[in-house]
Amino acid sequence: MNHLVWFRNDLRLEDNTSLTKACHGEKVIAVYCFDPYFFEEDSFGFKKTEKYRAQFLIETVSELKENLSKLNIDLLVFHNKPETILPAIIQKHNIIKVFLQREWTQEETDTLDRVKEQCHSTVEFEEHYDQFLFHPEDSVFQNLGELPEVFTQFRKVSEKKVNVREPLSVPASKSKENRIQNDSQVPTLTELGLDDFKKDPQSAFPFLGGEQQGMKRIQHYFWETKKLAYYKKTRNGLLGIDYSSKLSPWLANGSLSARMIYWQVKRFEKHIQKNQDTYWLIFELIWRDYFKYISLKHGNAIFKIGGILEKEYDWGTSEKAKQEWINGYTKEPFVNANMIELSKTGWMSNRGRQNVASFWSKELCQDWRLGAAYFESLLLDYDVHSNWGNWMYNSGVGNDPRDRKFNSKRQAELYDPSGKYQRIWLQNTLF
């Protein structure tokens, strides 16, 4: 029985259901495709994946390849479309079963359908929901029609009635006979059609991609500095590496699992300290889950201009507004500083994201989908569900019952009272 693991947004060894189950086969190989589609321009004129996240992905896949090799499993890496590569690999290696993480957004399901069309009907595809904190099979909301449209209701019921599964261990090594000839190479930024860059020394996210790098971050933030015990107090910070956990980029491409982080928090609470700050990291993981359930329930509505509320606003499409917002030349210095940080580093704080999104959609009244697409292109931690869910939320077409609008000047006074953050990112800009 020959098995194949098709890695997508689950780039890890620990707590990986597809990898664990595939290893029950006699022979196991793994594949990752840098699909050219995700490095092309979208309808708004942005590369779907720009250089920052692409480099983080390159680092992640490189480490995954090395880690799998230690288990005597070869990761075949291609810069090509999965529907071109996978059917040939499946046929060549007599694969009877393909294991992969279940995705449900349109682009991913279309790709899977194209792969299946090119494979013999006897090839079985086994998918697993592996990106959740509360597994859908354990959820109270088996009927998605009953999923609350308000986060607090979802959170309270889920916390009370759903147990978080224990993470799976790294599978045992296969025998050396499992190895195959593997000359494949992880592509470079240049090969992906992107520009090389040097990391900005001011970046609040100077970290590398990969499962072990994510674990190093947990070790630092939880166990060495114990900053987790102050998370809620500092999470609205703007400068430095430790104002927040910074775990979202590893979560986004699946090199860390939500379940593993949850149980690390529980361990911290048992051995170090349990307080509202430690709970708040779990609270944020639940928000992440909620947006995934919302996209499961509403499907492509999360990408439509009316959002899940099907609201009609008079959205603008000003090129001048777009250029000023993207390049940090609006009337609001706090918005500009955050946008410049994003363009130079691929990172922006949670506080910054809410402000620039609110300014774009509620102050300038511009098409919120363009903002979401720009974030998709630039953000290191882009996650389809969280990104589009948050943009709907901040634009009045999603899950915010209060439909809030942020006052950027007031926000700057609260969160950057000395102006240090703005000075750092606006130092080469005239106002």
Q: Are residues 149 and 239 in the same domain?
A: yes
Q: Which of 427, 130, 402 is nearest to 289 (CA)?
A: 130
Question: Looking at residue 47, what is its pLDDT?
Answer: 98
Q: What is the pLDDT of residues 346-403, one digit of tens each?
A: 999 999 999 999 999 999 999 999 999 999 999 999 999 999 999 999 999 998 777 7
Q: What is the pLDDT of residues 85-143, one digit of tens each?
A: 999 999 999 999 999 999 999 999 999 999 999 999 999 999 999 999 999 999 999 99
Q: Are residues 421 and 309 in the same domain?
A: yes
Q: Are residues 274 and 310 in the same domain?
A: no
Report CA 316 to chain centroid distance, whole Å: 28
Q: Are residues 72 and 153 in the same domain?
A: no
Report the chain's terminal Cα–Cα distance, integer Å: 66
Q: Are residues 152 and 279 in the same domain?
A: yes
End residue of a domain, out of 265, 299, 333: 299
Q: Are residues 271 and 338 in the same domain?
A: no
Question: Looking at residue 428, what is its pLDDT?
Answer: 65
Q: Are residues 5 and 136 in the same domain?
A: no
Q: What is the pLDDT of residues 304-330, one digit of tens each?
A: 999 999 999 999 999 999 999 999 999
- CA-based max dimension of the chain: 66
- 153 is in which domain, residue-wise? 131-163+210-299
Q: Are residues 146 and 242 in the same domain?
A: yes
Q: Which of 421, 393, 377 is nearest to 47 (CA)?
A: 377
- Going by DSSP bridges, is the β-strand pair 2-6/75-78 parallel, antiparallel, or unpaired? unpaired
Q: What is the pLDDT of residues 187-241, one digit of tens each?
A: 999 999 999 999 999 999 999 999 999 999 999 999 999 999 999 999 999 999 9
Q: Which helix (H) or strand (E) holds 77?
A: strand 75-78
Question: Looking at residue 429, what is its pLDDT?
Answer: 60
Report the SS3 class of residue 53: helix
Q: Which helix (H) or strand (E) holds 27?
A: strand 27-33
Residue 365 identity: C
- Whether residue 38 contacts residue 194, with contact meaning beta carbons closer than 8 Å, is answered with no
Residue 394 has which token pair?
Answer: 């901040």
117 located within any domain: yes
What whole-number percentage of the chain has pLDDT above 90?
Answer: 97
Distance CA 71, CA 69 (A): 5
Q: What is the pLDDT of residues 39-60, one digit of tens each?
A: 999 999 999 999 999 999 999 9
Q: Which of 197, 263, 167 is nearest to 58 (CA)?
A: 197
202 located within any domain: no
Q: Are residues 235 and 362 in the same domain?
A: no
Domain containing 278 — which CATH number?
A: 1.25.40.80
124 located within any domain: yes
Q: How confident is the model at residue 11 (pLDDT cuts 50, 70, 90)?
A: very high
Q: How confident is the model at residue 431 (pLDDT cuts 50, 70, 90)?
A: very low
Q: Are residues 343 and 404 in the same domain?
A: yes
Q: Are residues 91 and 140 in the same domain?
A: no
Question: Looking at residue 119, what is its pLDDT?
Answer: 96
Q: What is the pLDDT of residues 401-410, one digit of tens each?
A: 777 899 999 9
Q: What is the full DSSP assignment across 106-174?
A: HHHHHHHHHHHHTS-TT-EEEEE--S-SS-TTT-S-SSGGG--SSHHHHHHHHHHH-PPPPPPPPPPPP
Q: Are residues 100 and 239 in the same domain?
A: no
Quote the mean pLDDT of the chain: 96
37 located within any domain: yes
**Residue 341 above 90 pLDDT?**
yes
Q: What is the pLDDT of residues 234-276, one digit of tens each?
A: 999 999 999 999 999 999 999 999 999 999 999 999 999 999 9
User: What are the strands, taking DSSP E only, across 189-253?
Assistant: none
Question: Looking at residue 430, what is its pLDDT?
Answer: 47
Q: What is the pLDDT of residues 141-174, one digit of tens each?
A: 999 999 999 999 999 999 999 999 999 999 999 9
Question: Looking at residue 268, what is its pLDDT?
Answer: 98
Burial of 37-53, coded b for 16+ CB within 10 Å and e otherwise, reads ebbeeeebebbbbbbbb
**CA–CA distance from 147 to each of 154, 165, 262 (Å)?**
7, 21, 23
Domain containing 329 — which CATH number?
A: 1.10.579.10
Question: Looking at residue 327, what is its pLDDT?
Answer: 97
Report CA 135 to chain centroid distance, whole Å: 17
